Chain A
């Protein structure tokens, strides 16, 4: 499968703690993106990291990419109950142009 694989499948933490989730993939990529999905809703884009980048920040989010290990991690710092959601990584492929595949996601629960 060309999909990303997230780890862990589920994560439960207390409010204020940091949450780390990982994504591994098998093919070469153009970029890797992280999305969030609240229960019963569509996906919302969080952050994109290009294949030539190693780290990126956006607010409380930090994403790293290691193309030699074909892996990425998403860190959410100082988590809040409102961060409770499922998080997915998406890989965009160099070829064919336009193709994008998702992993199975990590379900994050942040307890107040």
Chain B
């Protein structure tokens, strides 16, 4: 099992360019998450999904869009990149309990994005 994988690992964009980050998990998890981590800070939840075809906003959703067309994939899009979006982006997935509770999250290795 590969667990949670993220592509690409590194990317440099110019202001205004667009890109899509791909997250894939092979654990059949219902829940998937996109976080960003700025230097010296914790993780901020951007968007998350509680199942195929569903998405929800997190703490810092502005400037990002997401899609979950397949259960195993969760895509994060930046339509018009800004320098403030320079960060490390982490994807995570988790199984859901019968009550909808979130337990352990499994994290990908991260994507380091620089916007010039």
Contact = CB atoms under 8 A, between A and B. Distances in A.
B64 interface: no
A45 B105 contact: yes
Chain A, interface size category, equals: 20 to 34
Contacts, number: 79
Nearest to B101: A30
Contacts of A33: 103-105
Contact of A98 (B90, B102, B104, B106): B102
Interface string B86-103: 000010101010011111
B105 A99 contact: no
Count chain A CB atoms within 10 A of each CB in B31, B42, B99 and give the residue with the most.
Answer: B42
Interface residues of B, number: 31
CB-CB nearest 8 A-B residue pairs:
A97-B100, A42-B107, A104-B42, A98-B50, A92-B102, A102-B43, A45-B104, A102-B42
Contacts of B104: 33, 45, 48
Nearest to A105: B42
A88 B105 CA distance: 13
Contacts of B33: 100
B59 A98 contact: no
Nearest to B51: A98
Interface string A1-23: 11100100000000000000000
Nearest to B50: A98
A44 B106 CA distance: 7
A42 B58 contact: no
Contacts of B96: 97-98
5 contacts: A42-B109, A42-B110, A43-B90, A43-B92, A102-B45
Contact of A88 (B43, B49, B101, B110): B43
